[in-house]
């Protein structure tokens, strides 16, 4: 008999996952839904993420800390699947404190791996070595840190609290790093004692936050608390199912929740997929619906598509439903949150990619082969835009869904029909009040 049957109810948990290449507006949706949350958990990625939250006139950009940190009374958890840059985390914590927010509710997994100074260095050196085939990483040391985790050469948050063990670990790991950085033409002479001191200092700073987080999350769920899992990046950047090798180094799909937060699959009730009304990606790699024309430029500027973490302009293109259907299946999406519809306000018509043509064949499922993707041509369907719409979005949202322009509602229905998933949230601006909520679930606000 499974746990859910024993306690007789389905547990109120909810996961938020990006359906594209990240930057879908997860920060806003997470913040919006976090109003009903007791706990917000990050389970993968690191300071490569960029979640922007707008509260009134205040704009907060978080990279590493869970979005729940901006809300009082919410416990925020950084799970074991996250890689932690202690310095970046310190800056974010200081920023929140300066804005008058408490950070006592932060729990950090003792099993989470640490991004070390040499990881950042290696990230840059590896990118340079790849030359024109570079991934276009954020340069935050993410790949090298996850590589070390898998190679069993990582340092974990819990290690910061045990001087003797930490010294031992550094003694066995650092010589390898020195040889590696030297072979990449970036010799790094690491002063072990200096690094040890620095890490022990972090240990002192974070000691009240470092705990075994899996039982905390598990117990909260069992007690019927509302627990939200906040994904970073997006399905197409998933290490297994994204556009490999042009991906990040973690599982950004809902599968990553179980390993990255330490909870069983049976404890995930709702999975909300965040989908931007068009597509963007940063960094290199295939992008079938990319627009290198005036329409792409319009999306870039109207959508303010510049990276939160790196400031890089994002590549822009039409909505790709081959990508979104891939995300629906992999994540088991129970609903979609459609964002940035307002960015399409100007368009006479809106194109949506429904399949690819590869070597003369119609392809419906997202291919694993990069070579095939590079030959893929989008098959588009065209919908009428909502060009004439100029109403104040906040006022419009107060009136509800039926007040939205007919063409916008048609677009939403079209997405539902083509993906087989209901749209639960419609977002037409950055603010919390520029949102229409159509969900009929237990995770109400």
Question: Which residue has the closest beta carbon to ligand IMP?
Answer: 283
Nearest CA to 435 among 66, 74, 59, 25? 25
CB of 233 to ligand IMP, least distance (A): 5
Query: How many residues sit close enough to ligand IMP to count as binding (CB under 6 A)?
Result: 21
Active site residue 119: no
- Binding to ligand IMP by residue 243, rule CB under 6 A? no
Distance CA 384, CA 391 (A): 18
How many CB atoms lie under 10 A from the CB of residue 228? Answer: 26
Inter-residue contact 34 to 74 (CB < 8 Å):
yes
Q: Which of residues 174-233 bind ligand IMP (CB under 6 A)?
A: 232-233
Closer by beta carbon to ligand IMP, 370 or else 395: 370
Catalytic residue chosen out of the listed positions 31, 38, 51, 123: 51
The residue to which tokens 């929740």 are assigned = 257
- Binding to ligand IMP by residue 135, rule CB under 6 A? yes
CB of 153 to ligand IMP, least distance (A): 18
Q: Which residues of 116-134 are buried (b: 16+ CB within 10 A; e: fewer)?
A: bebbbbbbebbbeeeeeee
- Which of 107, 140, 315, 351 touches ligand IMP by CB under 6 A? 140
Return the bridge partners of 362, or none. 357
The token duo for 289 is: 């619906």
- Binding to ligand IMP by residue 327, rule CB under 6 A? no
Closer by beta carbon to ligand IMP, 315 or else 439: 315
Distance CA 342, CA 390 (A): 10
- Which of 30, 52, 80, 248 touches ligand IMP by CB under 6 A? 248
Residue span binding ligand IMP (CB under 6 A) among the ranges 21-29, 83-91, 147-155, 347-355: 21-29
Catalytic residue chosen out of the listed positions 23, 31, 123, 148: 23
Contacts of 1 (CB under 8 A, 6+ apart): none
Distance CA 54, CA 61 (A): 9
CB of 144 to ligand IMP, least distance (A): 9
* DSSP string across 12-49: -EEEEEESSSS-SSHHHHHHHHGGG-SEEEE-SB-TT-
- Binding to ligand IMP by residue 158, rule CB under 6 A? no
Q: What is the pattern of x (binds ligand IMP, CB under 6 A) and - over residues 45-84?
A: ---xxx----------------------------------
- Which of 52, 76, 137, 427 touches ligand IMP by CB under 6 A? 137
Inter-residue contact 337 to 307 (CB < 8 Å):
no
Residue span binding ligand IMP (CB under 6 A) among the ranges 18-26, 217-225, 319-327, 413-421: 18-26
Nearest CA to 26 among 316, 229, 300, 262? 229
Just list the catalytic residues: 23, 51
Where does this chain bind ligand IMP (CB under 6 A)?
Answer: 21-23, 48-50, 135-138, 140, 142-143, 232-233, 237, 246, 248-249, 282-283
């Amino acid at each position: 008999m499974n746990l859910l049957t024993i306690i007789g109810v389905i547990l109120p948990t909810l996961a938020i996952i990006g359906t594209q290449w990240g930057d879908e507006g997860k920060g806003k949706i997470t913040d919006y839904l976090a109003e009903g949350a007791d706990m917000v958990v990050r389970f993968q990625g690191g300071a490569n993420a960029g979640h922007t939250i707008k509260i009134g006139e205040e704009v907060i950009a978080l990279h590493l800390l869970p979005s729940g940190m901006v809300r009082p009374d919410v416990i925020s958890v950084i799970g074991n699947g996250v890689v932690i840059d202690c310095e970046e985390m310190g800056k974010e914590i200081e920023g929140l404190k300066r804005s008058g927010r408490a950070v006592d509710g932060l729990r950090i997994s003792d099993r989470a791996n640490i991004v070390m100074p040499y990881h950042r260095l290696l990230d840059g050196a590896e990118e340079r070595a790849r030359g024109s085939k570079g991934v276009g990483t954020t340069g935050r040391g993410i790949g090298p840190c996850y590589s070390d985790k898998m190679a069993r050469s990582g340092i974990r948050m819990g290690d910061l609290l045990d001087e003797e063990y930490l010294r031992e670990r550094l003694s066995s790991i650092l010589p390898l790093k020195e040889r590696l950085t030297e072979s990449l033409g970036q010799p790094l002479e690491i002063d072990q004692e200096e690094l040890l001191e620095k890490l022990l200092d972090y240990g002192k700073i974070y000691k009240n936050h470092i705990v075994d987080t899996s039982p905390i999350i598990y117990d909260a769920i069992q007690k019927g608390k509302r627990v939200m899992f906040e994904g970073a990046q997006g399905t197409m950047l998933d290490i297994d199912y994204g556009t490999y090798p042009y991906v990040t180094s973690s599982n950004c799909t809902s599968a990553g929740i179980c390993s990255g937060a330490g909870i069983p699959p049976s404890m995930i009730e709702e999975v909300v997929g965040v989908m931007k009304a068009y597509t963007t990606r940063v960094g290199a790699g295939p992008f079938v619906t990319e627009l290198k024309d005036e329409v792409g430029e319009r999306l870039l500027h109207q959508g303010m598509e510049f990276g939160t973490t790196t400031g890089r302009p994002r590549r822009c293109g039409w909505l790709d439903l081959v990508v979104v259907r891939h995300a629906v299946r992999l994540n088991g999406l129970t609903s979609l949150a459609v964002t940035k519809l307002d960015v399409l306000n100007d368009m006479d018509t809106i194109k949506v990619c429904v399949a690819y043509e590869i070597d003369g064949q119609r392809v419906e499922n997202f291919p694993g082969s990069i070579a095939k993707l590079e030959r893929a041509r989008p098959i588009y369907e065209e919908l009428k835009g909502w060009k004439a719409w100029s109403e104040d979005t906040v006022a419009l949202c107060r009136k509800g869904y039926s007040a939205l322009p007919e063409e916008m509602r048609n677009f939403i229905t079209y997405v539902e029909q083509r993906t087989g998933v209901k749209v639960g949230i419609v977002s037409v601006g950055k603010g919390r009040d520029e949102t229409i909520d159509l969900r009929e679930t237990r995770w109400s606000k």
